[in-house]
């Protein structure tokens, strides 16, 4: 009989979290470690990765640190070659240049694409090759509500997140026969370093809060549950999906509440 108590148990699994030095990546690393996974904390900021890895070990988990820039194709390939026993990949890095499309320069466009889309492509395909050989694995990439809905100044960022979602769906179809699952998570507005420019503007911050059904921003740890779920056997028949963790933003976007 299936043991339902082990649905979310990640004991004995090795997970690589890229972008683990802060925000959603750090929360993902902490969440999977708390459920028994061995977590490799990768980040461009080696000190930040080391800080998170050390804290995992100090709280009874198993964490290690790795400096990694996913814009460096050779570094990504070398990292994956050394992780032939990888069970879970979580990809979180992204940047945003908030400008109307008519004001966006080609250099800015290329910078956002290079990290958000091409970097994620490198990670997912390199991990996918390794996992396909083993016949199992879970790849989780951070998309966004911006994969579905957009606002002025978010065009290039939104395009990358829509691209990440479609790559996840395609890779899910291509790797399903090899037992590898690929899914995307779509956070709403989350209080992270990426959104710090908005947090600094109270009017903008409050306007975003009011857009969700819950009337507030998310904290990074509120995304970790979706990561643990998709990494675990609780999601063993889940692939090619977008799991929205947006406080109801996309359900009520553009709503008007009449004076009833």
Please give the structure tokens belonging to residue 245: 């963790």
Percent of the chain with pLDDT over 90: 87
The answer to whether the CB of 187 falls within 8 A of the CB of 24 is yes
Please give the structure tokens belonging to residue 55: 């804290």
Q: Which region, left, alpha or beta, applies to residue 179 given φ > 0 means left and ψ of -120 to 50 means alpha?
A: left
- Domain assignment present for residue 256? The answer is no
Q: Per the residue annotation, which of 157, 205, 208, 229 is the catalytic one?
A: 157
Q: How many CB atoms lie within 10 A of CB 209?
A: 14
- Domain assignment present for residue 217? The answer is yes
- DSSP collapsed to 3 states, the chain: CCCHHHCCCCCCCEEEEECCCCHHHHHHHHHHHHCCCEEEEEECCHHHHHHHHHHHHHCCCEEEEEECCCCCHHHHHHHHHCCCCCCEEEECCCCCCCCCHHHCCHHHHHHHHHHHHHHHHHHHHHHHHHHHHHCCEEEEEECCHHHCCCCCCCHHHHHHHHHHHHHHHHHHHHHHHHCEEEEEEEECCECCHHHHHHHCCHHHHHHHHHHCCCCCCECCHHHHHHHHHHHCHHHCCCCCCEEEECCCHHHHCCCCCCCC
Domain that holds residue 236: 4-242
What pLDDT, in 10s, does the model give residues 41-96?
Answer: 999 999 999 999 999 999 999 999 999 999 999 999 999 999 999 999 999 999 99
- Domain assignment present for residue 247? The answer is no
- Domain assignment present for residue 253? The answer is no
- Domain assignment present for residue 125? The answer is yes
- CATH number at 86 reads 3.40.50.720
Number of domains in the chain: 1
Residue 1 banded pLDDT, cuts 50, 70, 90: confident
- Domain assignment present for residue 250? The answer is no
The whole-number pLDDT of residue 43 equals 98
The answer to whether the CB of 125 falls within 8 A of the CB of 50 is no
The answer to whether the CB of 93 falls within 8 A of the CB of 140 is no
Whole-angstrom distance, CA of residue 95 vs CA of residue 221: 20
Percent of the chain with pLDDT over 70: 97
Concerning whether 229 is annotated as a catalytic residue, the answer is no
- Domain assignment present for residue 255? The answer is no
For the question of whether the overall pTM of this predicted structure is more than 0.85, the answer is yes
- Domain assignment present for residue 73? The answer is yes
The whole-number pLDDT of residue 181 equals 98
């Amino acid at each position: 009989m299936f043991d339902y108590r082990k649905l979310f148990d990640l004991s004995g699994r090795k997970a690589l979290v890229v972008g683990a030095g802060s925000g959603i990546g750090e929360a993902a690393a902490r969440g999977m470690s708390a459920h028994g996974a061995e977590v490799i904390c990768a980040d461009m900021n080696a000190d930040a990765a080391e800080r998170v890895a050390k804290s995992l070990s100090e709280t009874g988990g198993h964490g290690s640190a790795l400096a990694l820039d996913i814009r460096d194709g050779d570094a990504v390939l070398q990292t994956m070659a050394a992780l032939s026993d990888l069970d879970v990949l979580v990809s979180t890095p992204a940047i945003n240049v908030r400008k109307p499309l008519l004001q966006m320069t080609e250099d800015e466009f290329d910078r956002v694409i290079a990290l958000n889309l091409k970097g994620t492509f490198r990670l997912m395909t390199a991990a996918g090759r390794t996992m396909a050989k083993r016949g199992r694995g879970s790849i989780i990439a951070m998309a966004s509500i911006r994969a579905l809905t957009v606002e002025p100044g978010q065009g290039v960022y939104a395009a990358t997140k829509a691209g990440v979602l479609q790559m996840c769906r395609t890779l899910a179809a291509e790797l399903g026969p090899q037992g590898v699952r690929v899914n995307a998570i779509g956070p709403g507005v989350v209080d992270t370093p990426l959104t710090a420019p908005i947090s600094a503007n109270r009017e903008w911050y409050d306007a975003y809060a009011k857009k969700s059904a819950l009337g507030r921003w998310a904290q990074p740890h509120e995304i970790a549950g979706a990561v643990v779920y998709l990494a675990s056997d609780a999601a063993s028949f889940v692939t090619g999906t977008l799991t929205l963790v947006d406080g109801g933003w996309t359900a009520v976007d553009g709503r008007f509440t009449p004076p009833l």
